[in-house]
Structure 1
């Protein structure tokens, strides 16, 4: 499970007093420190080390409760699927970034929906019907546990105002207790790694409550049983430090230069887009390239410039981009890295060199340092449709502008029209299904087309028809917009459209989009190989079975871990001494578990502000 780059509000909103209750006042606590300490504190109430893994649904539920959450069954199902074998501490931190604690006001709002008399009480009979018959149903035993709490029940009624106070206080106490236990061992706190004190975790579990407003409630499950996993404490076996100081505007040192005669070469172009998934994974269009003969080639990728409000820069402009070129070796299952873009000129990244004839796979890539889940809270939802004086629906100007940009993105060949193949990439992204030939024929009959392809006006009318079919309800339109990376203010913040150009000196290149998804294992191997081939290597143990490979360019640093041994290893990573840096994991400290005979990308690091010096200072510790 990939780390997701969301904000830390889910923990910091529980008030910094939970931390400050035991931390000396003279120390300054950053938001990231507070987040990390809350994560570790909760984790170490259930496990003896942050290197142990969550091995069951019950453990996941329990450790989330210790972090002040009350996860519903639906929430647990989201993170513990039938394919999940275990989750590590890094995964746990990513979950906490996404799952915010339920506030007292949210609870009261939920209960008031079912308080028919508006007197602060709910009859047990009504509560029983709602919580055992609707939404995520409670069992009679779970229901009895609530109504048997003497302080919040009287005369067959639940005092839900007192219940909400009890719920919030219990959640905060769980987290406060966890922090106090962690503070007992200052060495553990400073080291950010090690065994938890032998004291057993508290047995108390937060009361279960309705999470969503209204009567169809999602209810929390799980019990207070302690984890049965008792692994021994682990110690650092060896450490490797890496320190690289990069000057301000260092990306200008090795600038991308186009060949002198490139304007006389033949060119092929295609557009595409990076999309950020809910789990933090980044997917994109992927391509096949065909060269008829050996030729000098110039490859570039850059963000696509779309219509923007005057004076505003696109949200995706700072997103780093790259291209990796692969070729089949002894069959399609075995792809070998040919080259990747290493140079840069402003927002454009590129590579030039000689390639032989044949078929290549082209995979766009971004580190995830800048394309991250949005932290911004939208206070007012943009309007998509309005009604005229006669009651007819029309699309708002702002929505039409967004649709125009979406059209330009999915028009991969840039001819101003949408073919069936191009439209199907859009459909797969927004609905998960393709449009067949019959449906496309109907589309062409009802909407403006040219040369059997959909025009921009036809695309606008298609969306207007959808709005009319829903009688002005914009819900389905928002599904489309959010799938394309837009937030509720109609800003594209979780996608990055791009343009790829291929110039060849001796033949006409052909490029075709063939897939929309992640690069998968072949790309992961190619990415690791690029770092191993081009980077510096350091052995992390005396047997030289575990290696750290570090690749440095003027604009990013990537580390890859390689385990040549027959045993699993765990690497603890500490970036706390780095300055003016951002990484793709959004955590300064984390652990990476490495399977036997495997390699994995540990992290990508980039400057937070390129106009200032940035220092990459990282300690990688092999844990026994």
Structure 2
């Protein structure tokens, strides 16, 4: 359909992105620019690159949803004929030009014609006749799914005002999410955006291979424009929900579950400790240190994790101290990829989460986790930068008091074993985080020659001098220093807002435990498997009505609620989640309404939910709907 992108595409996109960032500060975006930005955002939410093609109806449907549309099956079939094998980004833009979003006014106007009592609702009996007899007819099972949607049905009536709100909010949330993702992900902003040119004429999409003459005649006879049929939008939205289940859990303002308590003889147990940190990436992914723990003989073990209490301004609460921390304990087997989940630190005493139990001798993998409910990107970034360096009376560069204090805190975080010195292994975790490269043995030898060391490890003063040298190398330009600070989670006011340092304590009754940080990576993979397995083992399971292979597992504790979706079927499924009726809650997704795609024969963490204000009652009300 669209021609292959040439070498001029990369130049065009680089130029457009530079001009976009500079001109938006001076001039508002044109309607055409906003349209293409929305197209890019939606497409790159589904695909890694806009040079990838849409190769199925499901992908087309999902991309259109992220663009704020709710296409009916008729609309999908119009652009994806039996002869279609792929659509590209240009084709997607053309479809979006033609398929406009239905307005709330249009929806309400259509419903009001059917509202005989003028009370904002339609009897289920009347709705059944409408959906099965008019227009794009629905089956009895599909209608039953519509009237079973908890958020818009009650007392034998379909509340179309609530439905219209749900419809519009879903569209807006999808579009908002895609634009936010495009904004924060610099890698996506550098992607090539297909072969379209804003000055080139719009071409009609033509399937590949070319359709038969009969199909072409049919396409010409059937107008492509959306006639603004609000009822069609109603049908497309209601039809996509095959079935739904709802949860309402009222959580109290006090901990009813068992609290974390220390073993009576803990002072006699042997202890090991390590520090670490959660870091928030630009795309909101969370990475952290991962650990290997060794237990020499069978022993009772007491393990805790909590935020690390660094120096803080008197009377000002440090934001990371309120972030939840959990540690998953997995036993290593002969196959390193197949770790066995032992347990996790679910018991709590204030900010400390812990676990007590007996462990067999062997090697264990410790994976820290935070839900992401409270560790989030700053909403109101600070614009004015704090001063990092200055020149004294002699003209020599020095570090400001505020920057020195921040560097001492960073030293505390990266000094994993807490001995007041930095080994090459500890320093390399810092280097990987801030520069992406390790310091080899030769470079470390040079470092030890030029900066203060003790026992072949870097001291606090040596670490200070190393940063001062970096400032001198740049003749006082603090740009590189800011790269380090931002990588470590600090904002321009030198506040730690996008990271959470933590400390792990391990006590063993009969042997000396050992713990060592072995890598730093995203909180996914093995962690996702561990969370899913723990929820499946301990949570409540509810099957989607009529779809026994789709199961929603919910695990609740006084501190949080985690939901996991299990798809036992041979096909992928899309689940729509609505949290709008929840009270005093925040979730890890950051959206009240969203959708997730679950691969065949798999499980995935849907969301974590926590109270927004602790100490007050919070109500978890969530509706999970299976999308067709």
Report whether the alignment pairs 1:244 with 2:213.
no
How far off is 1:194 after superposition? 12
Q: Residues 520, 247 of structure 1: CA spacing in aligned structure 2 closer, same or farther, 3 A cutoff?
A: closer
Summarize the Cα distance change of 1:236–1:383 in structure 2 as closer, same or farther, 3 Å threshold: same
CA separation of 1:409 and 1:93: change in aligned 2, threshold 3 A = farther
Report the equivalent of 1:117: none
Change (3 A) 1:316 1:64: farther
Partners of 1:603 and 1:90 in 2: how far apart? 23
1:407 corresponds to which of 408, 411, 422: 411
Q: What residue number does 2:367 align with?
A: 363
Q: What residue is the counterpart of 1:267 in the other structure?
A: 271
Q: CA deviation at 1:78?
A: 11
Pairwise CA distance, 1:543: 4.3
Counterpart in the other structure of 2:607: 603
Question: Is 1:471 equivalent to 2:475 in the alignment?
Answer: yes
Instruction: Tell me if structure 2 keeps the 8 A contact 1:183–1:189.
Output: no
2:449 matched to which residue of 1? 445
Segment of structure 1 superposing worse, 187-196 or 256-265? 187-196
2:345 corresponds in structure 1 to 341
Post-superposition offset of 1:225: 6.7
Out of 520-529 and 229-238, give the one that drifted further. 229-238
Higher helix share: 2
Query: Alignment RMSD, CA only?
Result: 3.5
Secondary structure of the equivalent of 1:251?
Answer: coil
Q: 3-state SS of the aligned residue for 2:448?
A: helix
Aligned equivalents of 1:84, 1:268: Cα separation in 2 = 52
Q: Does 1:394 align with 2:429?
A: no
Cα 1:562–1:314 change in 2 (3 A) is same
Match of 1:309 in 2: 313
Structure 1 residue 328: Cα displacement? 2.5
Aligned to 1:352: 356
CA positional deviation for 1:421: 0.3
Q: How does 1:152-301 map to 2 (within 5 A)?
A: 181-186=103-108, 189-192=164-167, 223=198, 233=236, 234-248=239-253, 250-251=254-255, 253-301=257-305
Closer, same or farther: CA 305–83 of 1 in aligned 2, 3 Å? farther
- In 2, the alpha carbon distance for the partners of 1:542 and 1:91 equals 25
Alpha carbons of structure 1 residues 565 and 474: separation in structure 2 relative to 1, 3 Å: same
Gapped runs of 5+ residues in structure 2? Answer: 1-23, 25-29, 69-95, 109-159, 172-191, 208-223, 225-232
User: How many Å separate the matches in 2 of 1:84 and 1:345?
Assistant: 51
SS for the counterpart of 1:325 is strand
**2:514 match:** 510
- Indicate yes or no: 2:571 matched with 1:567: yes
Contact between 1:65 and 1:71, CA under 8 Å: does it hold in 2?
no
- The answer on whether the counterparts of 1:420 and 1:453 sit within 8 Å (CA) in structure 2 is yes
How much has 1:541 moved relative to structure 2?
3.6
TM-score, normalised via structure 1 length: 0.68
2:34 corresponds to: 65
Return the alpha-carbon distance in structure 1 between the equivalents of residues 100 and 258 of structure 2.
50
Distance 2:615 2:287 in 1: 30
TM-score (norm 2): 0.68
1:441-465: CA deviations, max 9, x gaps?
Answer: 0000000000000000000000000
SS in 1 for 2:530: helix
What are the Cα deviations for residues 238-285 of structure 1, in whole angstroms up to 9, with x where unaligned? 11111110111x336431111111111000000000000011110000
> Residue deviations 1:68-110, cap 9 Å, x none?
76979xx99997388998795799599xxxxxxxxxxxxxxxx
Q: Mark the CA change 1:378 to 1:594 in structure 2 (over 3 Å): closer, same or farther.
A: same
| Count of equivalent residues | 461
Match of 2:435 in 1: 431
SS of residue matched to 1:586: coil
For residues 153-191 of structure 1, the C-alpha deviation after alignment (integer angstroms, 9 at most, x for no partner) is: xxxxxxxxxxxxxxxxxxxxx99x967735422456334
Q: CA deviation at 1:510?
A: 0.2
Q: How far apart, CA to CA, are the structure 1 residues paired with 2:205 and 2:167?
A: 21
Corresponding residue number in structure 1 for 2:152: none
Cα drift, residue 377 of structure 1: 2.9
Residues 582 and 477 of structure 1, relative CA distance in 2, 3 Å threshold: same
The aligned counterpart of 2:49 is 80
Write out per-residue CA displacement over residues 364-401 of structure 1, whole angstroms, 9 at most, x where no aligned residue: 00000000001123132100000111211000010001
